[in-house]
Amino acid sequence: MKNYDIALVGFGNVNRTLAQIIGEDQERMAAELGFTLRVTGVIDLRLGAVIAPTGVDLSALLELEPGSTFAGLEGFRELSNEEFIRTVPADIVAEATYTNPADGEPAVSHVRWALESGKSVCTTNKGPVAFAAEELTRLAGERGVHFEFEGAVMSGTPVIRLAAGPLKGVGITGFSGILNGTSNYILGRMEAGLSQMAAIEEAQDYGYAEADPTADIGGSDVRLKVMVLAHELLGVRLASSDVATEGITGITAEMIEQARAESKRWKLIGTARRDTDGVVTASVGPRLLDDDHPLSGIRAATNAVTFHTRYLGDVTIAGPGAGRVETAYALLSDLIAIDAAERR
Ligand code: HSE
């Protein structure tokens, strides 16, 4: 049976969960998917690196005491990220380090080094896709490898692949979405009477929020996702400055109450549309939606995106947009896509 050797770059919630799935669910996956996965290397800024060409002992990594590092584990190496990524014996690199909303680094370099050294890449990181999708996709093509990133938007809920696959040819003219679970959760909790501050703390406890939650409530997380979707769905490369962005910090309890009295809800909406001259306009901001709007009923940390299309009118998909298992599944769906491409 076909096997893929995987190197994990970043060992936080997402890649840790992928490692768990690979460790525990291998038999079912082999039967269902027709291939196996073996982790041959892991690197993390805080923990260090391990490399084992015959397979890393995942249980040793997953059972590490809080505060300890990989030092002392079999296969421990002192390597820079670049040395690790270029030399680790792997077919595919799973990149799940933090997202830098300013320029996507160092994740852009991680992906570039992997592709340059002939490895396919799957990532949940919005940075490399928002800032360098074009370059990195071209590089993957030149090297005969693959670059997949379903989890950059709406975690494992298939948005990018839905547009590129089943909706191909439908004529997508734009999209509007609830693309940040944290802010949607916060708005819902404010409707239930909580202060914005208390709701932010709850969202952090649930683990929806970014390391720095200002990216969630200030709109820059959604801006990156709009940049990703504009490129993937509309074929246009937007800079951060092209997307007028406002977050939910200005939404007060009074505004929420007034909206409910009028059977409306505040939602943080990311949108981009191509006008008849071909110009794409994009924005992120709080919008007041009527209760019968398709995005008005999207609750808690759920995300949804409506594709505006030529032949089907509006098509909406809703599903998880964050969460460790949901985001690790996005990587698995990328691995499945890479396998399918390899078999063609
Ligand atoms: N912090 C993000 C959210 C996680 O709340 O949607 C997924 O990008």
> What is the CATH number for 193?
3.30.360.10
Mutating to test ligand 1, I would choose from 99, 159, 180 the residue with most ligand atoms within 8 A of its C-beta, which is 180
Q: Are strands 302-309 and 172-178 parallel, antiparallel or unpaired?
A: antiparallel
Domain count, the chain: 2
Q: What mean pLDDT is predicted for residues 129-148?
A: 97
Q: Looking at residue 91, what is its pLDDT?
A: 98
Among residues 2, 126, 168, 225, the one annotated as catalytic is 225
Peptide bond preceding 158: is omega within 30 degrees of 0, i.e. cis?
Answer: no
**Domain boundaries, position 303:** 160-320
pLDDT, tens digit, for every residue of 286-344? 999 999 999 999 999 999 999 999 999 999 999 999 889 999 999 999 999 999 999 99
CA–CA gap between residue 9 and residue 123 (Å, rounded): 10
Atom of ligand 1 lying closest to residue 209 CA = 1
Do 115 and 206 have their domain in common? no
Do 134 and 167 have their domain in common? no
Of 141, 111, 140, which is closest to residue 127 (Cα–Cα)? 111
Q: Looking at residue 65, what is its pLDDT?
A: 92
Q: What mean pLDDT is predicted for residues 168-176?
A: 98
Question: Which residues fall within 8 angstroms of residue 267, CB to CB, at 6 or more apart?
Answer: 178, 184, 187, 286, 287, 289, 295, 296, 298
225 is catalytic: yes
Do 176 and 316 have their domain in common? yes
Do the beta carbons of residue 123 and residue 302 sit within 8 Å? no
Q: Looking at residue 311, what is its pLDDT?
A: 98
Do 192 and 331 have their domain in common? no
pLDDT of 144 strictly over 90 = yes
Do 149 and 203 have their domain in common? no
Q: Looking at residue 26, what is its pLDDT?
A: 86
Do 132 and 12 have their domain in common? yes
326 close to ligand 1 (CB < 6 Angstrom): no
Do 116 and 21 have their domain in common? yes
Do 213 and 126 have their domain in common? no
Do 221 and 151 have their domain in common? no
Q: Looking at residue 71, what is its pLDDT?
A: 96
For the chain, the average pLDDT equals 96
Atom of ligand 1 lying closest to residue 303 CA = 6
181 close to ligand 1 (CB < 6 Angstrom): yes
182 close to ligand 1 (CB < 6 Angstrom): yes
The sign of the CA dihedral 240, 13, 16, 63 is: positive
pLDDT, tens digit, for every residue of 183-232? 999 999 999 999 999 999 898 888 888 767 899 999 999 999 999 999 99
pLDDT of 171 strictly over 80 = yes
Q: Looking at residue 262, what is its pLDDT?
A: 97
Do 137 and 164 have their domain in common? no
Q: Looking at residue 209, what is its pLDDT?
A: 81
Question: How far from 112 is each of 23, 133, 237, CA to CA, in Å?
Answer: 28, 11, 19
177 close to ligand 1 (CB < 6 Angstrom): no
84 close to ligand 1 (CB < 6 Angstrom): no
In this prediction, what percent of the chain has a pLDDT beyond 90? Answer: 92
Nearest-CA residue for atom 4 of ligand 1: 322
In this prediction, what percent of the chain has a pLDDT beyond 70? Answer: 100
Q: Looking at residue 212, what is its pLDDT?
A: 78
Do 107 and 226 have their domain in common? no
Q: What mean pLDDT is predicted for residues 64-76?
A: 94
Do 313 and 335 have their domain in common? no
pLDDT, tens digit, for every residue of 231-276? 999 999 999 999 999 999 999 999 999 999 999 999 999 999 999 9
pLDDT of 25 strictly over 90 = no
